[in-house]
Amino acid sequence: MKRPTNIAILGSTGSIGRSSLEVIEAMPDRFRVTCLTAHRNTEILAEQVHRFKPRVVVVTDPARAGDLRALADGTTEVLCGDTALLDVVARPDVDIVISALVGFAGLHPTLRAIEAGKDIALANKETLVVGGELVMAKVREHKVRLLPVDSEHSAILQCLQGEDIHSVNRLILTASGGPFLNTSHAEMAGITPARALKHPTWTMGAKITIDSATLMNKGLEVIEAQWLFGLPAERIEVIVHPQSIIHSMVEFVDGSVKAQLGIPDMKLPIQYALTYPERPPSGFKRVDFAALGRLTFQDPDTERFPCLALAFRAMRDGGSAPAVMNAANEAAVALFLDGKIGFTAIPELIAAAMDALPPSGAVTLDLIDRADRDARAFVAQAAAVLTH
Ligand code: NDP
Ligand code: MG
């Protein structure tokens, strides 16, 4: 019998990380967890250590160094700090890395894992948004597999099975529309973090939940799709589908459209990324079409949700533009969650950062790092002016 595949989960205490562990736990003959990481949630990490007995765990927030001793459990080694992430992903006892950190923090460890020849199950879409060109070049150079965990991209991958990419006319990404789909322009400014954190169809980490409320999440996903499937922006469209049952669609040159459907639960795309191209049976909930009654669709409104248009602009501008947009978004979302700025200031700050930091030259890792730092500094300064 084949030995179990060894898995490292970057961000095991997060929403995707915990769903990944549920998927893995249901297939003990097939998968073994060798590495888990958390930023500051050492309580959940301690439970995971006890349950999965990984060989190594990493806590990245140095402020939590005091909790480390409590984590050591028998044979589990405990490491601390960002650089430890770069070491653990390259270990010989890791076959697949589930990249499930949130935000820009995912880029460097994911690149390191690719360079070390590991297959990647990618949830951290920001990695492709800021560094798509570099990341995909490394994937080809090191001949690793990078498979999407994001449900829309998993849907597209499933629709493309057995198809020639040249026969694709367009990719149609579905968006739930988030909690403010029917909120008027006038009401948008008064949206509180508590309201924005209530997503109608998905339960996720705080940052992506706000991104879903502004539609920036869909913007990030369009850029992610561009790199994953190698298609230009003009061939990628977004349609709002509030029920989140169709996870995305592919239209072919003959006019035929394929869609992938399922109930909204990330365990399915996680399992698909881990077992691709196989489809092992699962106990996940099934779609009850009669109970659903109908599926509806509408165009996204980029007047009320300017973030989607900003992402298309970043994609057209290329170079450092997506990295600037991404960093400005991360900084603005953090300020919104802290109650420092209003909901409509998020796209305003991103647009201002993109105007102030025009896209520059050939994309190198240094350029991306610099764009990230500059955009965060710009937003901090611009927000200070807004709040005084
Ligand atoms: P969460 O916020 O729930 O989890 C994030 C994980 O990353 C946690 O383990 C957290 O640790 C860790 N982390 C946070 N900041 C840092 C940092 N600076 N350095 C190292 N580790 C850090 O996020 P999600 O699971 O919701 O999302 C993860 C990624 O997957 C995002 O890129 C998101 O866009 C993408 N995604 C998520 C989906 C979902 O359904 N949740 C769907 C599709 C994509 P700690 O818990 O200790 O703070
Ligand atoms: Mg998604």
Which amino acid, residue 220?
L
CA distance 164 to 162: 7
Between the CA of 158 and the centroid of ligand 1 the distance, in Å, is 24
**301 HSE (CA, 13 A, CB side):** 11
Measure the N-to-C terminal CA separation of the chain; round to a whole number of Å: 66
Index of the ligand 1 atom closest to the CA of residue 220? 34
CA of 37 to the centre of ligand 2 (A): 22
Distance 2 CA to ligand 1 centre (A): 31
Closest atom of ligand 1 to 85 CA is 20
DSSP state of 261: E
Strands 96-99 vs 5-10: parallel, antiparallel or unpaired: parallel
Q: What's the pLDDT score for residue 203?
A: 85
Amino acid at residue number 245: I
The pLDDT of residue 144 is: 98
* Residue 318 phi, psi dihedral angles, 5° rounding: 65, -155
pLDDT for the residue numbered 1: 67
* pLDDT tens by residue, 68-98: 777 877 789 999 999 999 999 999 999 999 9
Query: Whole-angstrom Cα distance, residue 354 to residue 360?
Result: 11
pLDDT tier at 318, thresholds 50, 70, 90: very high
Tokens 């007047």, located at residue: 303
| Token pair belonging to 357 | 């930091």
- pLDDT of 201: 83
And the tokens for 216? 């920036």
Average pLDDT value for residue range 210-224: 98
User: Given a cut of 70, is residue 388 above it in pLDDT?
Assistant: no
pLDDT beyond 80 at 361: no
Angstrom distance (rounded) from CA 232 to CA 321: 16
Q: Is the CB of 60 under 6 A from ligand 1?
A: yes
Domains and CATH numbers, the chain: 5-148 (3.40.50.720), 153-386 (1.10.1740.10)
pLDDT per residue as tens digits for the range 287-306? 999 999 999 999 999 999 99
Residue 385 has pLDDT above 90, yes or no: no
pLDDT tier at 202, thresholds 50, 70, 90: confident
Question: Residue holding tokens 């994309």?
Answer: 363
pTM, to two decimals: 0.98
Extended beta strands in 11-51, E state = 31-38
| Centroid of chain to Cα 178 | 16
Q: What is the CA radius of gyration of the chain?
A: 20
- pLDDT > 90 fraction of the chain, expressed in percent and rounded: 93
